[in-house]
Amino acid sequence: MSSPSPDSVPATVAHGTVAGLVGVIAMTAFQRLVEMPLTGRQESYAPATLLEKVLPMAPKRGSARRRLNYAAHFGVGLTWGVTHALIARRASLHGQRAVGTVFAVIYPGDVLGNTLLGLDKPWKWSLQDLTIDVGDKLLLAEVVGLTFDRLRGDAD
């Protein structure tokens, strides 16, 4: 059985999945090792709250909710990676043009979706809250884009 061509949809999705995993690991490491110690922010359970809102699940407090939170957090990264891959493939984008385009599509949708679900009130965010949210997601976008381009064999 032959492997899919580098530009096929299955290869694109596979590369996006790997890029999303690398991106979410980088974002999580940055949050844990840099951002949270600097800002004093506690761990956010926003990913778990989102899943609890849209799926019929409500784990009790403690380790079950924390596992759900991690699963949802990594799901965000994987979704970002696959979405990046598909947009970059469809629009023949790479490098910063891909990162900027994908960020401009995904980030406002993320904020809008969470706002419509009643999970966020961005008009009440402090400048620090906004900076953390944009900074964390921009780091995710950059690492996803760089990783995807490397996996695809693009050089800038």
Q: List, for residues 110-131, the tens digit of each pLDDT value.
A: 999 999 999 999 999 999 999 9
Local confidence band at 3 (pLDDT 50, 70, 90 cut-offs): low
Which residues, at least 6 apart from 118, have a Cβ–Cβ distance to it below 8 Å?
53
Local confidence band at 7 (pLDDT 50, 70, 90 cut-offs): confident
- The amino acid sitting at 77 is G
How far apart, in whole angstroms, are the C-alpha atoms of residue 75 and residue 91? 24
* Residue spans per domain, the chain: 9-152
pLDDT on residue 156: 53
How far apart, in whole angstroms, are the C-alpha atoms of residue 85 and residue 66? 29
What pTM was estimated for this model as a whole? Answer: 0.89
pLDDT on residue 64: 87
pLDDT on residue 25: 97
- The amino acid sitting at 140 is L
Q: Could you report how far apart the first and last alpha carbons of the chain are, in Å?
A: 32
Other CB atoms closer than 10 Å to residue 135's CB: what's the count?
15
How far apart, in whole angstroms, are the C-alpha atoms of residue 43 and residue 117? 21
pLDDT, one tens digit per residue, over 22-46 is 999 999 999 999 999 999 999 988 8
pLDDT on residue 19: 98
Q: What average pLDDT does range 41-65 have in this prediction?
A: 85
pLDDT on residue 144: 98
- The amino acid sitting at 143 is V
Residue 62 has pLDDT above 90, yes or no: no
Q: What does the block give as tokens for 43?
A: 């761990």
pLDDT, one tens digit per residue, over 71-104 is 999 999 999 999 999 999 999 999 999 999 999 9
The closest of 27, 19, 37 to 137, measured between CA atoms, is 27
How far apart, in whole angstroms, are the C-alpha atoms of residue 144 and residue 77? 9
Cβ atoms of 140 and 31 closer than 8 Å: no
Local confidence band at 4 (pLDDT 50, 70, 90 cut-offs): low
